[in-house]
Amino acid sequence: MKMHYAPSTTTTLNNSEYLYFSGTSYYSLHSNKQVINSSIKALEEYGIGSAVSRLTYGCTPLLSELENKISNFFNTDDSVFLPSGYMTSLASFKALIILKNIEVIYIDEGAHYSVYDGARATGLPMIKFKHQDADDLESKLKTTVLKSVIATDGVFPLFGDIAPLNKYEELLDKYNALLWVDDAHGVGVLGKNGRGAIEHHNINNERVFFGATLSKAFGSYGGFIAGTEEFIAEIKNGEVVKGANSMPTAVMGASIKGLDILKENPEMRNNLWDNAQYLKQKLSEIGILTNNTVFPIVAWQMEQEDAMIHVKDALMKRGIAIQQLKYSGSKGGALRIVTFSNHTKEQIDTLAKELKEALAGV
Ligand SMILES: Cc1ncc(COP(=O)(O)O)c(C=O)c1O
């Protein structure tokens, strides 16, 4: 299916308008006029891009402004903007090898592709632990004296489940380990200030590192890592940054506005959490198993893939787009529904009513 314009609560797919409950634009900022105008302004002021890495001339005032905004939002010393969220695990693991001498990576078996690829690219031994299982992790940490990093998503993208970071944190001192959190989905959504899964768990620990993306909640594109001066300097000095052109100015302009909007309008987060609760209540009323976190995703599996495709297609015919997909962390795929901060209760009611009928037809 082709999307004709950036998503919001309704979106045009293949020339027809649908109620849209998919993807990751949690505040519909990808189609927000202020974000778009900020992107246009950046383009006009700075052109397309610097066509050189930041190693020499690629660090524009716009890039510095963006990185300041990111560190300000996350209350860290510094930050670095990267070509994609996908690159953040690799860039961080490389820096942690140099700065902290890590020798082994413990990885949640359901971690995102990018965490796996980043870990593999280091060439370090990788030990998987059971999905979100701190006991299994501890039993494995006990078997080695090597300096380790534990790697996980902050929020898992398909089911929207939040990693038990507080349980992992308890293991860090005991096993002289570090924690790496790919918080692509958590940032902007979780925590009192929208700082993500780490803030959600009230963690403030120098052994904990994180990176994320601006391509979801913040309405833009591109990855970032925020942290201590030493850590960020090492990443800025590393190959992932040195070996790539600076990012296009259009996404920097959009990112700056996306960060501003979410910082200045905390009520948007409350609306999102409120919609998440409402969605979960409505879907549990029609027999779908949901968790009770504030994360705005409900996903579930049916035994037969055909049945899931049937439900998705039946909803499509009723003018509603949800996702049926196989993605990292799932065996056999799932049906996935996402609510945004600006969905109305009536839109969620419509979804629940139509979904009930679609499920009855399986
Ligand atoms: C958990 C997770 N990490 C990383 C990424 C990659 O981020 P980006 O799209 O900015 O490359 C995604 C998806 O986009 C994701 O779901």
Tell me the pLDDT of the chain (362 aa) as tens digits: 999 999 999 999 999 999 999 999 999 999 999 999 999 999 999 999 999 999 999 999 999 999 999 999 999 999 999 999 999 999 999 999 999 999 999 999 999 999 999 999 999 999 999 999 999 999 999 998 899 999 999 999 999 999 999 999 999 999 999 999 999 999 999 999 999 999 999 999 999 999 999 999 999 999 999 999 999 999 999 999 999 999 999 999 999 999 999 999 999 999 999 999 999 999 999 999 999 899 999 999 999 999 999 999 999 999 999 999 998 877 779 999 999 999 999 999 999 999 999 999 88
Ligand 1 atom nearest residue 88's Cα: 4
Q: Where a domain ends, among 264, 279, 311?
A: 264
Answer whether residue 160 is part of any domain: yes
Nearest partner of 156 among 302, 328, 337, 273, judged by Cα: 328
Residues 202 and 279 in one domain: no
User: How does DSSP classify residue 154?
Assistant: S
User: Do 258 and 290 sit in the same domain of this protein?
Assistant: no
Same-domain check for residues 222 and 238 = yes
Distance separating alpha carbons of residues 111 and 168, to the nearest angstrom: 15
CA 299 – CA 16 distance, rounded (Å): 25
Could you tell me if 71 and 18 lie in one domain? Answer: no
Residues 360, 357: Cα–Cα separation, whole Å: 5
Residues 203 and 282 both lie in one domain = no
* CA–CA separation, 107 and 94 (whole Å): 16
Q: To which H or E segment does residue 298 belong?
A: strand 297-300
For residue 328, the model assigns a pLDDT of 80
**CA 154 to ligand 1 center in whole angstroms:** 11
Tokens for 306? Answer: 């055909």
Q: Whose CA is nearest to atom 3 of ligand 1?
A: 184
Task: Name the residue with the closest Cα to ligand 1, atom 2.
Answer: 184
Closest C-alpha residue for ligand 1 atom 8: 85
Nearest CA owner, ligand 1 atom 12: 184
- Indicate if 176 and 279 belong to the same structural domain: no
Residues within 6 Å of ligand 1 by CB: 84-86, 112, 114, 153, 157, 182, 184-185, 213, 215, 223
- Same domain as 39, residue 22: no
Query: Residue 2 burial (CB < 10 Å; 0-12/13-18/19+)?
Result: exposed
Helix (H) or strand (E) holding 285: helix 266-285
Question: Angle between the 266-285 and 249-264 helix axes, to the nearest 10 degrees?
Answer: 80
CA-closest residue to ligand 1 atom 9: 85
Residue 1 lies in a domain: no
What residues contact 261, with CB distance under 8 A and at least 6 apart? 27, 29, 32, 34, 35, 219, 268
Give the separation between CA 232 and CA 51, rounded to whole angstroms.
Answer: 22
Same structural domain, 210 and 298: no
230, 264, 298: which is the final residue of a domain? 264
Q: How far is the CA of 184 from the centre of ligand 1 (A)?
A: 6
CA atoms within 13 A on the CB side of 218: 35
In a domain, 309, yes or no: yes
Residues 195 and 316 in one domain: no
Residues 6+ apart with CB under 8 A from 301: 308, 330, 332, 333, 334, 335
- Are 290 and 306 in a shared domain? yes
Shared-domain flag, residues 21 and 101:
no
Q: Nearest to residue 340, comparing CAs of 6, 2, 67?
A: 6
Specify the CATH number for the domain of residue 103: 3.40.640.10
**Which structural domain range is residue 174 located in?**
33-264
Q: Is residue 3 part of a domain?
A: no
Count of structural domains, the chain: 2
pTM of the model: 0.97
Distance from C-alpha of 9 to C-alpha of 347, rounded to nearest angstrom? 9
- Is position 301 within any domain? yes
Are 47 and 246 in contact by the 8 Å Cβ rule? The answer is no
Does some domain include residue 338? yes
Is residue 47 left, alpha or beta, with left meaning phi > 0 and alpha meaning psi from -120 to 50? Answer: left
